[in-house]
Amino acid sequence: MQYTGLSEVTGNEPPTYNCVGTSDGIANYRTMQNRINAIKANGTDAQIDVFSGLPHGFGLGTGTVAEGWINTAVAFWIRQYN
C-alpha cells in the first residue's frame, strides 16, 4: 500500500515500502513514519522515504527530489524474495 493513514499495527503486516512528501495534504508523512517504525519494531522489514516539500501525487518524481524512488521501491520488493 503506497499511502496509508492507518495507525494500527497488529504484527501481521507484510514487508512494507512507503514514500511520501512532507507537503502531502492527504497522507501525513508523520503518521506514515510512525506506522513504518512500528512495523519495523515488530521485526518486519519496512522502509519509508520522505521527500521534503513534495505534495501528494508526485508520480515517478521526475525532476523532483523524489526522482528514482521507484528504483528504491523495486529494490526493496526484490529483497523480500531473495
Tens-digit pLDDT profile for residues 10-40: 999 999 999 999 999 988 999 999 999 999 9
* Tens-place pLDDT, residues 33-49: 999 999 999 999 999 99
Give me the pLDDT at residue 60, please: 93
- The answer to whether 54 and 19 have CB atoms below 8 angstroms apart is no
**Exposed/middle/buried for residue 17 (C-beta within 10 Å: 0-12, 13-18, 19+):** buried
pTM, full prediction:
0.89
Predicted local confidence at residue 34, as pLDDT = 93
Q: Which of 20, 77, 23 has the alpha carbon at shortest distance from 49?
A: 20
Q: Where are the domains of the chain?
A: 16-80
